[in-house]
């Protein structure tokens, strides 16, 4: 497992912890990434679009503001999001008091 910290992820704010559990080598290029992601309080995963792939989030803990192609909503543990190929999303923990932790799966189209 590779663990890294990304600064200002996707043009966002703060730092995001990325624990890469599986990648293209293990998933035979069907998926680009399977990871546990942590957004500490104050961090924002900036809005970004997917081209050639789609992404799902499964929320493990915390409460964040999810931007689903311009429609914002609160998401929490147990929620699932889906961003299809050609669409965009972002996630904010800017006003949170605890880590937002989720599983991210990027599926190649």
CATH number at residue 29: 2.60.120.10
CB atoms within 10 A of CB 37: 21
Sheet of 63-68, strands arranged across: 44-49, 88-92, 63-68, 71-76
53/4 Cα distance (integer angstroms) = 22
104/69 Cα distance (integer angstroms) = 17
Range of the domain at 56: 2-108
- The per-residue pLDDT for 30 is 85
Task: Report the number of distinct structural domains present in the chain.
Answer: 1
- The per-residue pLDDT for 47 is 98
User: Could you read off the pLDDT of 57-75 as tens digits, one per residue?
Assistant: 999 999 999 999 999 999 9
Q: Point out which residues pair with 36 in neighbouring strands.
A: 19, 103
Q: Mean pLDDT for the chain?
A: 95
- The per-residue pLDDT for 93 is 98
User: Could you read off the pLDDT of 3-62 as tens digits, one per residue?
Assistant: 999 999 999 999 999 999 988 788 887 888 999 999 999 999 999 999 999 999 999 999
């Amino acid at each position: 497992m590779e663990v890294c910290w990304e600064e200002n992820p996707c043009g966002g704010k703060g730092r995001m912890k990325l624990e890469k559990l599986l990648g293209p080598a293990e998933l035979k290029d069907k998926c680009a990434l399977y990871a546990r992601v942590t957004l500490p309080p104050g961090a924002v995963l900036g809005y970004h679009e997917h081209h050639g792939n789609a992404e799902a989030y499964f929320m493990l803990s915390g409460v964040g503001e999810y931007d689903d192609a311009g429609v914002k909503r609160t998401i929490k543990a147990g929620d699932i999001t889906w961003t299809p190929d050609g669409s965009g999303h972002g996630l904010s923990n800017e006003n949170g008091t605890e880590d937002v932790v989720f599983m991210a799966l990027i599926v190649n189209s």
